[in-house]
Amino acid sequence: MAADSFDFPAALAKALADPQIAGNFKSALGGLRGKRLALFADPAELARLRATGKALKGRTLSRLPELLVQLEANCTRNGIRVHWAETTEEANRIVLSILRAHGADTVVKGKSMVSEEMGLNHFLEEHGVTPVETDLGEFIIQLAHQPPSHITAPALHMNRKQVAELFSKCIPDTPYTEDVLELNAIARRVLREKFRTAKAGLSGVNFAVAETGSLVLVENEGNGRMSTHCPDVHIALMGLEKVVEKLEHLPPLMRLLTGSATGQLLSTYVNVVSGPRGPHELDGPREVHLVILDNGRSNMFQDAELSGSLRCIRCGACLNNCPVYSRLGGHAYGSVYPGPIGSVITPQMEGLDAKGDLSFASSLCGACEEVCPVMIPLARHLRRIRSECEAAPGQGLVRGRGAKRCAVKTLGWRLWAFVERRPWLRERLLALAARLTGRWTPAVGPLAAWSQARTLPKLARKSLRQRVREEGVRHG
């Protein structure tokens, strides 16, 4: 979706008017939250694990340039060809050049949010290459021509009946069925032939180990292993923040990832790719390519505060526990990464003029922070993005800073500050307003919309400061 064509208020209104969205997300997210709570039943143990995760990712960020160089050196030693891409356009061209070099007109894809960030499917289709999503959720939304609505569960917005109708309509010779096992079997039948015949496979990377030059991919369906091992060429895509220092750092991070995402102690499959097929090995790709994408991450890294968002391990727990996301769903955000973490990183990637509004789609209740496995201060980051949106010329660090600055709003805040610094003036103005309005707060301006679902407070006859002066403070 083009950034300049996205109408966020209209998307919010559309989502709020659709009861199906609220129903589907309420059911699905409730289940995910319950599984996470059951797995992390010991608060003390969870606190220690989260502190460990925060420390490991923080240590990685403190040495990020050095670790990326080490990762490249060890991957190259293992036979993995490393490519660097500053922008999504550059990354797309790299992937296309690899596919064309091998005459691949079809590529089977494991789940990759970076490929969504790149708009890779659309780009490949424009250049005559057919991408085939093999993760079940991604397979479903590809049939429906929709973007993912959740980081780990892309088809979360659809229920079983909707998937049954989609399969029956889009897959030839497929009878209508709502049986989950039969739906899985239908997808498996379609994809198996794709795995067998595709010349190239593509996947994301959950962690890249600098110490060993290994690419780690966790999944539950086996499609990731099929995409990375069946075709002769494997292309792995990762954001540069996915690097970790040592192999021994993986267990706590993987437990946090799977436990926070799906409530699992460990995912069904853990794939560790450390190079192409050896001379005496019977299977595996003959070539492995790693594309490391920046796309604004270096700028995030330069910001002492917002660089904390690079600790994200893409578990989706902040989405699962966000009251705003739960009501809206993912598509209303109009970005690849929805929910609290998306409202922090997307404005940094695409600029505040394009996506700064996302930071205001939060109640700042802090539920996201309480469950973040690597303790990202999401509410603080959201407030920072909001302040960057309103930054005065010469202030702020994020691209597009000051994009939402409004002269009327700025004047209003200056008047408010002027009055608040003079308590005597504030008391007299409030008393005058109470007399003029009969103590009722007028529903005008922004208050008109705010009061549609809320009761406006009455103006007090006397301020708290005045009452304390007159009545004193009663204790006990």
Q: How many Å apart are CA 43 and CA 463, to the nearest integer?
A: 43
Q: Are 161 and 140 in contact (CB under 8 A)?
A: no
Q: Are 319 and 325 in contact (CB under 8 A)?
A: yes
* pLDDT score recorded for residue 433: 83
Task: Pull the structure tokens for residue 225.
Answer: 């292993």
* pLDDT score recorded for residue 476: 60
Q: Are 149 and 337 in contact (CB under 8 A)?
A: no
Q: Which residue type, as a one-letter code, is found at position 450?
A: W
Q: How many Å apart are CA 124 and CA 115, to the nearest integer?
A: 11
Q: Could you tell me the pTM of the whole model?
A: 0.89
* pLDDT score recorded for residue 459: 80
* pLDDT score recorded for residue 3: 47
Q: Catalogue all structural domains in the chain, each as residue range(s) with its CATH number.
A: 59-295 (3.40.50.10420), 407-471 (no CATH)
Counts for the chain of helices (H) and strands (E), in that order? 23, 10
Per-residue pLDDT of the chain (476 residues; tens, 9 = 90+): 444 568 899 999 999 999 888 888 988 999 999 999 999 999 999 999 999 999 999 999 999 999 999 999 999 999 999 999 999 999 999 999 999 999 999 999 999 999 999 999 999 999 999 999 999 999 999 999 999 999 999 999 999 999 999 999 999 999 999 999 999 999 999 999 999 999 999 999 999 999 999 999 999 999 999 999 999 999 999 999 999 999 999 999 999 999 999 999 999 999 999 999 998 898 899 999 999 999 999 999 999 999 999 999 999 999 999 999 999 999 999 999 999 999 999 999 999 999 999 999 999 999 999 999 999 999 999 999 999 999 987 787 899 999 989 898 889 989 999 999 998 898 888 888 888 877 777 777 777 887 887 888 888 878 888 888 888 887 76
Q: How many Å apart are CA 448 and CA 101, to the nearest integer?
A: 61
